[in-house]
Chains A and B, each alone.
Chain A
């Protein structure tokens, strides 16, 4: 049996990769993709802790995270479409309306 610490370490690694992706990428769609990575890292941690304590509450929360991820993708991509129509670009360097 694989100890649950390995799963938690994998979850931490995926979380860090997602954060690096959000900081590094300049494409709005790629940044949203990185948030999906971070959400998946959280899901792995939930199910791993579930496996350790022998319960299923974490899996219920993973279910909620899945629905929220779907809502987030729909809204986020809708916003990206609106930004693209307005600016004809999805580069974060060009979206500077709120800059003083």
Chain B
């Protein structure tokens, strides 16, 4: 029963995710594109839950579908309506073979790529016993503690950078100086 539920969840979530991804790429109105992106992100989060990655699924909704999308909506509200073609037909012709080649390459790597089976700290039994969240956070705060701290530094730098770049006075001052 549970297995059957996973299969149904996969097909539903993946079909909706691909459908909304098409919306992100091809909607002319940018608001529709952002709403499709929210739909895609929530469906991907559902796929994470179906794969048993509860922590990442929750973070996906909290960080992506809420925080990042709010950034986009904020910027869209200040930038007025986009004039001109949203999709360029000439580039469309170029993108199809390039996309196809990329897909072939990804398929080749995933099917024939010989990766070594990862023999890490955790096995399926251990994860089942302690739970996914505990397993992920144990690895995050032991083996990957330094990258974790670096990630917080990157967020700080990004915040300061966004404030400095987005400051209004700085652009106007340069124009007046000219």
Hey, which bits of chain A sit against chain B, CB under 8 A?
A: 1-2, 5-21, 23-27, 29-30, 32-34, 36-37, 40, 43-45, 47-51, 53-57, 59-60, 62-64, 66-75, 77-82, 84-86, 90-91, 93
Contact = CB atoms under 8 A, between A and B. Distances in A.
B21 A74 contact: no
A78 to B, nearest CB: 4
Contacts of B154: 67-68, 71
Given A57-B139, A68-B154, A85 B171 contact: yes
B158 A75 contact: yes
Interface string B140-178: 100010011001101101110111011010010000000
A17 B136 CA distance: 30
A53 B17 CA distance: 25
B166 A78 contact: yes
A62 B132 CA distance: 14
Given A70-B67, A91-B82, 16 more contacts: A8-B110, A13-B18, A15-B106, A16-B102, A24-B92, A27-B86, A29-B76, A30-B24, A33-B33, A47-B56, A55-B122, A56-B127, A66-B64, A72-B158, A74-B158, A84-B79
B71 A54 contact: no
B88 interface: yes
Contacts of A13: 18, 21, 103
Contact of B6 (A2, A57, A59, A91): A2
Interface of B: 3, 6-7, 10, 14, 17-18, 21-22, 24-25, 30, 33-34, 37, 40-41, 44, 47-48, 50-53, 55-56, 59-60, 63-64, 67-68, 71-72, 74-76, 78-79, 82-88, 91-92, 94-96, 98-100, 102-103, 106-107, 110-111, 115, 117-118, 120-124, 127, 132, 135-136, 139-140, 144, 147-148, 151-152, 154-155, 157-159, 161-163, 165-166, 168, 171
A62 B56 contact: yes
